[in-house]
């Protein structure tokens, strides 16, 4: 969607302006962090340590989101305008970098507690979904992340709304699985990333007006194009997350068999 009369600023105080994008991002971080803290305390974790873990995870998630965005879109900023590379309030965050750096930071802090790590990554899913939804809405106010133009009668693909739909999907799917099934720890996260990669890579990136790399195909009537940088990375992401999904189920099945064997052993 491109709505030129929308202002990116929620309000201004003199020359200082507060962007809608920043407000939405902060609300998503607060919502996701609150949920992670609430669920994390169910494991009996120390609240102070859990809050520290959450803050460092969020911090590195934001750093990763900006780093990946800059490297993928404007790597020249690093040596020509490094200050611009830091201006996250002007928009420009990559969800892939946020998830990647955030999960690595979480793993590093909990590398000696794999059970807690697997539970906590599952509980990041609602926050990730909320972040995708709200930041994409912020993109509308920033006049960015636009879709290809079409000749289908509606003009440009509403890419921000398409992208925000994936966030809603992740949230609904997460709570549906929580209520209807009992997936093993870790499955919620890896499966969410698997399906998100499919939706974004094969639908969202096809209609999004992004630079094409190596293979250049663009259909001006339908407004679809490929292959974008994200689409090149989609297959390895699917392979990796698919392996991790299967691994969580396999570990869960092995644990269940061990528990059954122990229950069947005669007591002395």
pLDDT at 266: 54
Q: How far is CA 69 from the centre of its chain?
A: 13
- Report in angstroms the alpha-carbon separations of 127 from 42, 190, 192, 198, 257: 17, 14, 12, 19, 33
pLDDT in tens, 152-182: 999 999 999 999 999 999 999 999 999 988 8
Give the domain ranges of the chain.
9-258
User: What string of DSSP letters covers 87-122?
Assistant: -GGGS---HHHHHHHHHHHHHHHTTT-HHHHHHHHH
- The pLDDT of residue 91: 64
Give the Cα separation of 119 and 105 in Å (integer).
15
d(CA 72, CA 190): 24
pLDDT-based confidence at residue 31 (cuts at 50, 70, 90): very high
Q: Which token pair is 89?
A: 């309030």
Q: Is the pLDDT of residue 258 over 60?
A: no
pLDDT tier, 207 (very low <50, low <70, confident <90, very high otherwise): very high
Terminal CA-to-CA distance of the chain, rounded, Å?
A: 71
The CA-CA-CA angle for residues 22, 25, 28, to 5°, reads 150
Strand 224-228 relative to strand 9-13: parallel, antiparallel, unpaired?
Answer: unpaired
Check the annotation: does 136 bind a ligand: yes
d(CA 11, CA 183): 44
């Amino acid at each position: 969607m491109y709505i030129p009369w929308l202002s990116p600023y929620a309000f201004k105080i003199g020359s200082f302006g507060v962007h809608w994008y920043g407000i939405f991002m902060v609300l998503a971080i607060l919502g996701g962090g609150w949920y992670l803290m609430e669920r994390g305390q169910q494991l009996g974790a120390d609240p102070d340590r859990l809050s520290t873990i959450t803050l460092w995870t969020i911090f590195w998630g934001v750093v990763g989101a900006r780093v990946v965005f800059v490297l993928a879109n404007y790597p020249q900023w690093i040596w020509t305008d490094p200050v611009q590379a830091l201006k996250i309030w002007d928009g420009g965050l990559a969800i892939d970098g946020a998830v990647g750096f955030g999960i690595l930071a979480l793993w590093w802090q909990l590398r000696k507690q794999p059970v807690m790590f697997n539970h906590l990554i599952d509980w990041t899913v609602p926050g990730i979904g909320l972040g995708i939804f709200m930041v994409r809405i912020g993109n509308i106010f920033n006049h960015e992340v636009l879709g290809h133009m079409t000749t289908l009668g509606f003009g440009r693909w509403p890419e921000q709304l398409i992208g925000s739909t994936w966030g809603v999907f992740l949230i609904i799917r997460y709570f549906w699985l929580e209520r209807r099934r009992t997936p093993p720890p870790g499955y919620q996260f890896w499966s969410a990333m698997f399906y998100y990669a499919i939706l974004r890579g094969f639908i969202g990136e096809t209609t999004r007006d992004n630079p094409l790399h190596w293979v250049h195909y663009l259909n001006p009537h339908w407004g679809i194009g490929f292959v974008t940088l994200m689409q090149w990375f989609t297959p390895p992401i699917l392979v990796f997350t698919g392996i991790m999904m299967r691994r969580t189920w396999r570990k869960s099945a092995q644990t269940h068999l061990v528990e059954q064997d122990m229950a069947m052993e005669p007591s002395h």
